[in-house]
Chain A
Amino acid sequence: MGKERDNMFLDVKGLSISYGDIRAVQNVNFYMEKGELISIIGANGAGKTTIINSLMGLVPVQSGTIIFKGQDITKMPAHKRARIGIRIVPERSRVFPRLTVYENLLTGMYGMKNKVSPEKSILQLYEIFPILKERKNQLASTLSGGEQQQLAIARALVSEPELLLVDEVSTGLMPKLTQEVFSVLETLNKEHQLTILLVEQNAFVSLEISTRGYVLETGQCVLEGPATFLMDNTRIKEVYLGH
């Protein structure tokens, strides 16, 4: 890789994470350039969620470094990372059930530097997610799984983040909804130049909209490359795509 890695948007080097004696992630390296949409794919227990949580600062890193826009954030707490533009759409959405849709969106506004017009930012999101506008005064717990997922994405977006981490967005969604959510992510990436890191079991759908991908197996990166290359790879086809 002849690229100058110093001015990389996100640069992860030698990342290792353990839960007690169990090593979840072992010496993983990857990078992202601004405006990219990257997928990390792998089976259950491969360490995907662990990686995304470590990027958000929710699990401590054992060794390795995470550099975001030239700043070493390896030891930075989650709420500070949120303030420098990293936001996560957690697995199973984790919206606040007893707050309304609108209030949920307001919580996403919290770390914003300029709280000038929360209303405006939310109105823009209603355009992307019309269902949320319809349900803005409903409690989040009354939304369907797909709607909660959209709310989680919208909540992550109100603060206009620079890097969006998306954890298993397809979990618990029916295929049609999965397609819808992915097309929203694609739009955000293509039209709003949002840098997105997807972590997915559903390899095919996520690689389809990605520029590049990484394949994880038992905590190690076994394959990386452009999305089209990965989709053509016979091993990937066999293992993840079921061809």
Chain B
Amino acid sequence: MITIGTLIAIQAIAVCGLNVIVGYAGQISLGHAAFFGIGAYTAALFATKAGLSFWASLPIVIAISALIGLLLGLPSIRVREDFLAITTIGINFIVEAIFRYVPFFGGALGIGGIPKIAFYGVRLKGISFFILCLVFLFLVIGLCYWLKKSWASLACYAIREEEQAASTLGISPVKFKLLAFVIGTAIAGIGGSLYAHYMQFISAGDFSFPISVGFLSMLVLGGMGTLWGPVLGTLILGILPEIFRPLVDYRILLYTILLLIMIRFQPGGLLGEGSAMRRIFEPLLRVKR
């Protein structure tokens, strides 16, 4: 149970990052697992080769994820929609291939022996690691909340709706798309770092394209651009496979069907604008206020 919970919390962090890119700035990304992986590999390398603790390497991991996000984002955001989707898929495959074939990254064997996180000398495992992940998840959600309330959100919104109109209002589309990309990849890096320290062993396959599809499915299911949508989506798609264990081979098929149903009936996601959940719960919330 705790294992599933921890992994869900870690994935939810990554999906929150994806939400900043896809939901807030409207830039489709099908390569988010690559950035999750970059965070994980950076943390793993610092831990195993440099002997740095999770805490010491965290700022570096965030910085490197953000920097690589920036470098890969620069060319990516110049293309739009379908092309951006394909470009990000390409990024995912390239990053995965580098992890798999460059000996520095452990090659096909991956990187093992990553230590667990210590907190004031106490090794975190089981429930305490889960709590740590929850703390990070809430910090990330706090950041997303702040982003949603800030000027940047209105600007991003304007770009998503009408890029050209936004530019005539003095909003630089390139700047904001890139900003969202960098923030999103940095958040993925945090998730990746937690993942590496939790699993203690990582390999390139953990960050392959189907993982990216999974992230995007979770986001679409929960509701793009919403605050809690990523968490809900990750929760549902994280628990479902455990319940339907016998169907594990058909997981991708189920995801696909679920996505099609969502896009047909609830395009805004479970927590999106005008969704059934909103209609039911919003009146209740209003009474409380």
Contacts and interface: CB of A to CB of B under 8 A. Distances in A.
20 contacts: A77-B167, A78-B167, A79-B167, A79-B171, A79-B172, A80-B172, A88-B168, A90-B168, A94-B164, A95-B165, A96-B161, A97-B161, A98-B161, A98-B273, A99-B161, A103-B154, A107-B158, A108-B169, A110-B158, A110-B171
Contacts, number: 72
A78 B161 contact: no
Interface residues of B, number: 18
Contacts of A159: 169-170
A77 B172 contact: yes
Given A94-B165, A96-B161, A97-B161, A111 B154 contact: no
B162 interface: yes
B93 interface: no
- Taking residues whose C-beta sits less than 8 angstroms from the other chain, chain A's interface range is 20 to 34
B168 A78 contact: yes
B187 to A, nearest CB: 25
A108 B151 CA distance: 12
B136 interface: no
Contacts of B158: 96, 99, 107, 110
Interface in A73-97: 77-80, 82-83, 87-88, 90, 94-97
Given A103-B154, A107-B154, A96 B170 contact: no
B166 interface: yes
B155 interface: yes
A82 B164 contact: no
Nearest to A96: B161
The B interface, classified by DSSP as helix, strand, loop or mixed, is: helix
B167 A82 contact: yes
B157 interface: yes
Given A56-B168, A82-B171, A96-B157, 12 more contacts: A58-B164, A77-B172, A78-B164, A79-B167, A79-B173, A90-B165, A95-B165, A98-B273, A103-B154, A107-B158, A110-B171, A112-B170
Contacts of A57: 167
Interface in B127-171: 151, 154-155, 157-158, 161-162, 164-171
B170 A94 contact: no
Interface in A94-123: 94-99, 103, 106-108, 110-112
B226 to A, nearest CB: 14
Contacts of B164: 58, 78, 90, 94
